[in-house]
Amino acid sequence: MKKILLFVPALLLALGTMKAQTILYTQDMESTSGTALPTGWTQTTLATDGGWLSGTALNSTYFGITAHTRYLATNDDQCNCNKNNDFLQSGTISLSGSTYPQLTFDLFYYHNSYNPAGTVYTESGTVEVSTNGGSTWTVVATLSGNAAWNNVAVDLTTYAGQSIMLGFRYSDGGGTGATGIAAAWMWGMAIDNVTIIEPVVKEVAVTNVVMAKYIVAGATTVNTIMTSNGGPQVTSATLKYSVDGGAPVSQTFTPNIYYGGSYTASFTTQANLTAGLHYIKSWISDVNGTGSDATPMNDTASCQVTSIAPANVPVHDVLIEEFTGAWCGYCPRGGLALSAICASDPHVHGAAIHDNDQMSTTESNIIDVAYEAGYPSGTVDRSYNTTHSAYAIDNSYWAAATTAREAVVVPASVALSNVTWTSGSRQISATVTTHIAGDIKGTYSVNLFVIENRVYGPLADITDNGYNNHSYYYADNTSPFYNVGLTTGAWTTGVAGLTPAVYQHNHVVDKMIGGAYGDNSIIASTLVTAGTNIPHTFTWTLPAGNTTNAAAAHRYNEDNCYVIAVVSEYDASANKSNSNILNVAEQKLTANPETGLNTVGIVEVQETSFGTVVVYPNPASTSTNIALNLFSDDNVSINVYNALGQVVYTENNSRLSSGEHLLTINTSEFANGIYNVVVNTSSKGMITKKVTISK
C-alpha cells in the first residue's frame, strides 16, 4: 500500500505536464433505447429491416459483432435484403473556434467480398461530410476492414470553424434489383463512440522501437514508430537513437501524418551490434522544425535485442499445432495437411490440439481457446496463425508460414536425451536440455509434449463416440477419406468388414507435461549468457492403454508415442505476442515400430527423396488413387504387381512438373489380395507401397 501512495503524487505530477484536448462533439449511443437512432440522427435506406439500428446485440451467424455496450449497426447478413445504400446522418455539429478538428469513432466492419455466381460483389463503407444541411455530401474517408472493433481517425481540418453534418454510408454492392439483392448477401457495419475533438497543438509520441528481438550480430536497421496525437499535420520530425547509452544517431524524416496517423521511421545509419544483449533507445528531438512537442514524457521508446554470433545461430525447428475435433467434418483435411508438411520438411513437427472430443486435454483446451481460428486451422510456433478453410486445406496452407518461421533467428535450441519408457510403472522420462545461443534476459519456459499416432475408437462402433471422426469426404471416392470415419448422411458400404472403416488420428497431444505454456522456473529470468546449457528432466505416467480389445478405444500405446521438447517465451498473462515457441526437438518414445491398423484408416503420407506419396483408399475395392507431390520436375512411371510378381497395371507418366498429381487406378478386375505399387523416377529413385484389394 505504501508503494502505491508514494507513486500517486509522481503520477499526478507527470500527468500535469500533459495538455488536454477539447471535445467538440460526442455521441456514445448510450442514450438510445430499443432500436431507435440517437436524437437528431436520421437515415435513408432501401432495406426492409430498417437499415441502421441501435442496440447491444445486433450480430448474426456470419457477422459476429463483439460486445461493445450500445452501438449502431446495419446487418446485411441478418437481413439479406437491399442494403446498397444505408446512409446514416448526424444532426448539425458546430466546429466553431476549431483549428484542427479531428473525428474519431469505433468501427466494426469486415469489408469482405462475395462471389456467388461468377460475379464479385464487395461491400463498402464511407465517412462523408455535408456543410449545407445534407443537400450534398463529400467523402472524407473510405473505410477498410478489420475483424474486430478498431478506432478510426479522420482529419476534418478543412471544415474548421464551420457547421457540418456527418454521414456514414454502407453498401452491400448488390444494386437495387431482385437479382442484385440476392447476389449481394454481405456482412454489415457497426459504429460507436463518435467524437470530434480539437487536439493539442503538435503532439507526437514515439510508440515503439521495432526490431527483431533476436538477430545475427552485425549491422541492423533501427525502426521507430511515431504517432500523431495532435494537430496540425506532422510534416517533419527529427529522431535519434542510441545503443546501450552510446552516442546518438540523428536523422530527420517527413512522415506527413495527421491526428491518429502513424509512421515508421527507418534510420539510414545502421546499428552495428556485437554478439550480446543490447538496449536500443529512440526519441524525438524536433517536430515540424520548432523543437519539442506538447508532451515530452511520451517522446521516448526502447527495446531489448539479443545479437547472436553467426556461427552460433541455432537451426530453427518449428511446431504446428493443428486445431481439430472428431465432430468436425472438414478436419480430416487438416490432419492430412499436417502429416504431409511434417513428412516433407524434417524441421516441422506436429501436434493435434483436439477440442471437445475424447482426445482433448486440460492443456490443449487452454491453447485452443487462446489460438484457435476455426476448424481446421493451425498456429506455427504460436506466432503465425492460419485461418480455416471449410472446403480446401492442403500442406501449402501452412507452407508459407513455416518457411517464414524457420528463417526467424532464435536464441536457443533444445535437445532430448535419456528418453526412457518403463513398462511396469508406465512412466515416461526424458531430459530436455536447452542450449542458450545468445545472451537472454526475460521469462522463458521449457516443456515436453507427449503425442501419439494411430489413435482410434472401438472397431465395430459406428456411433459418435468422440473418436470416430466425422468426415464430409466419407462418400467421395476421390478423397483419401472415402469410407473412413463417420458421415452425417446415410452410411455407405463398409470397408474390410468395418462400417465405417476406422479413422486413425495422428499427432494427438496426450499431455503437455509442463502445462499449456511450459514451466517458467527452469530458465532464470536474470541474464543467461550464450553457451549455457540448462537440463531438466520431465516425467509422466502414461495412462493404461489398450492394444488388443476391439471393443475399446485404442490409445496410450507407448509404441505409437513421441516426445517433443519445447522452449518458449513466457508471459504470465498469456499475452500471445510474448509466448512464441522458439525451438523444438522430437524423438520416438520406444525403439519399436508403430503398431495399429496398418491397412485401414486414415492415409499415411510417406516422404521420399523425390516427394510425398499417398495411396488411398486402402483397402480398395473398385479403384484406388495415387497422389504424388513432387519436389521437382521428373520422369515418373508406376507399376502394380500382384503377389506372384506379375505386372497387372503400368502407367508411364513421362515428364511431370513439380507439385501435386493424382492418378486413379481401376481395380475392379483385380482379385482380392495384397498388391505392390511401385513409383519410379528417373533421377531420384523409387518407392513401393502396398495396397489391399477387398471386395
**pLDDT in the model for residue 110:** 93
Query: What are the two backbone dihedrals, phi and then psi, of residue 238, each rounded to the nearest 5 degrees?
Result: -100, 125
User: Would you say 151 and 103 are in contact if contact means Cβ atoms under 8 Å apart?
Assistant: no
User: Would you say 209 and 224 are in contact if contact means Cβ atoms under 8 Å apart?
Assistant: yes
Q: What is the dihedral of CA 231, 237, 243, 247, to 10 degrees?
A: -130
Residues 6+ apart with CB under 8 A from 524: none
**pLDDT in the model for residue 295:** 84
- Mean pLDDT for the stretch of residues 395-399: 68
**Three-state SS for 334?**
helix
If phi over 0 gives left and psi between -120 and 50 gives alpha, with beta otherwise, what is residue 390?
A: alpha
- Mean pLDDT for the stretch of residues 280-284: 97
Distances (CA, A) of 485 to 474, 498, 598: 7, 10, 15
Choose between 336 and 418: higher pLDDT.
418
- Residue 481 above 80 pLDDT? no
- What is the pairing mode between strands 508-512 and 533-541? unpaired
**Mean pLDDT of all residues belonging to the chain:** 87
**pLDDT in the model for residue 607:** 64
Q: What are the strands, taking DSSP E only, across 221-344?
A: 223-228, 237-243, 249-253, 262-266, 271-273, 276-287, 300-308, 318-324
Q: What are the strands, taking DSSP E only, across 460-574?
A: 508-512, 533-541, 561-569
Give the residue among 672, 550, 551 at the shortest CA–CA distance from 619. Answer: 672
Assigned fold of 318-588: Immunoglobulin-like (2.60.40)
- Residue 149 above 60 pLDDT? yes
pLDDT more than 90, % of the chain: 59
**pLDDT in the model for residue 338:** 87
Question: What percent of the residues of the chain are helix, what percent strand, and what percent coil, each to the nearest 5?
Answer: 10, 45, 45
Distance CA 544, CA 538 (A): 19
For the ranges 94-103, 179-188, 371-380, 620-629, the maximum mean pLDDT occurs at 94-103
Q: Where are the domains of the chain?
A: 22-198, 204-310, 318-588, 606-693
Choose between 127 and 552: higher pLDDT.
127
- pTM value is 0.77
On the 0-12 / 13-18 / 19+ scale of CB atoms within 10 A, 118 is exposed
Query: What are the two backbone dihedrals, phi and then psi, of residue 10, each rounded to the nearest 5 degrees?
Result: -65, -40
Residues 6+ apart with CB under 8 A from 158: none
Choose between 621 and 7: higher pLDDT.
621
For 494, the grid coordinates are 463398409
**pLDDT in the model for residue 492:** 41
Give the residue among 647, 628, 643, 631 at the shortest CA–CA distance from 691. Answer: 643
Give 566's Cβ-side CA count (13 Å radius).
35
Enumerate the β-bridge partners of residue 320. 350, 380
Identity of the residue numbered 416 = L
Confidence of residue 529 (pLDDT cuts 50, 70, 90): very high
- Give 647-677 pLDDT, tens digit per residue: 899 988 778 888 778 888 999 889 888 888 8
Give 671's Cβ-side CA count (13 Å radius).
7
Mean pLDDT is lowest, of 37-51, 75-89, 110-124, for 110-124
Give 140's Cβ-side CA count (13 Å radius).
23
CATH code: domain 204-310 is 2.60.40.10
**pLDDT in the model for residue 8:** 31
User: Would you say 204 and 288 are in contact if contact means Cβ atoms under 8 Å apart?
Assistant: no
- Residue 145 above 80 pLDDT? yes
Choose between 12 and 219: higher pLDDT.
219
Give the residue among 580, 582, 625, 632 at the shortest CA–CA distance from 611. Answer: 632
Confidence of residue 15 (pLDDT cuts 50, 70, 90): very low
- Mean pLDDT for the stretch of residues 461-465: 80
- Residue 392 above 50 pLDDT? no
Q: Spell out a b/e string for 505-519, using b for 16 or more CB atoms within 10 Å of the CB, else e.
A: bbbbbbbbbbebbbb
- Mean pLDDT for the stretch of residues 379-405: 72
User: Would you say 443 and 569 are in contact if contact means Cβ atoms under 8 Å apart?
Assistant: yes
Mean pLDDT is lowest, of 244-248, 251-255, 361-365, 678-682, for 678-682
Residues 6+ apart with CB under 8 A from 196: 23, 24, 25, 26, 93, 95, 101, 102, 103, 104, 156
Confidence of residue 306 (pLDDT cuts 50, 70, 90): very high
On the 0-12 / 13-18 / 19+ scale of CB atoms within 10 A, 10 is exposed
Residues 6+ apart with CB under 8 A from 612: 340, 343, 344, 605, 606, 628, 629
Confidence of residue 179 (pLDDT cuts 50, 70, 90): very low
Identity of the residue numbered 650 = T
Confidence of residue 10 (pLDDT cuts 50, 70, 90): very low
User: Would you say 567 and 445 are in contact if contact means Cβ atoms under 8 Å apart?
Assistant: yes
204-310 and 606-693 have identical folds: yes
CATH code: domain 22-198 is 2.60.120.200
Confidence of residue 180 (pLDDT cuts 50, 70, 90): very low
**pLDDT in the model for residue 500:** 57
Query: What are the two backbone dihedrals, phi and then psi, of residue 8, each rounded to the nearest 5 degrees?
Result: -60, -50
Confidence of residue 14 (pLDDT cuts 50, 70, 90): very low
**pLDDT in the model for residue 118:** 64
On the 0-12 / 13-18 / 19+ scale of CB atoms within 10 A, 394 is middle
Instruction: Give the 3-state DSSP-derived string for 400-449, with helices as H, strands as E and coil as C.
Output: HHHHHHHCCCCCEEEEEEEEEEECCCCEEEEEEEEEECCCECCCEEEEEE
Give the residue among 328, 421, 405 at the shortest CA–CA distance from 372. Answer: 328
- Residue 104 above 90 pLDDT? yes
For 607, the grid coordinates are 516422404
**pLDDT in the model for residue 660:** 76
Mean pLDDT is lowest, of 24-28, 181-185, 422-426, 536-540, for 181-185
If phi over 0 gives left and psi between -120 and 50 gives alpha, with beta otherwise, what is residue 567?
A: beta
- Residue 183 above 60 pLDDT? no
Choose between 481 and 421: higher pLDDT.
421
- Give 403-446 pLDDT, tens digit per residue: 999 999 999 999 999 999 999 999 999 999 999 999 999 999 99
Instruction: Give the 3-state DSSP-derived string for 598-618, with helices as H, strands as E and coil as C.
Output: CCCCCCCCEECCCEEEEEECC
Distance CA 107, CA 78 (A): 18
**pLDDT in the model for residue 19:** 57
Assigned fold of 606-693: Immunoglobulin-like (2.60.40)
For 52, the grid coordinates are 441502421
**pLDDT in the model for residue 360:** 97
Confidence of residue 380 (pLDDT cuts 50, 70, 90): very high
Mean pLDDT is lowest, of 143-152, 460-469, 501-510, for 460-469
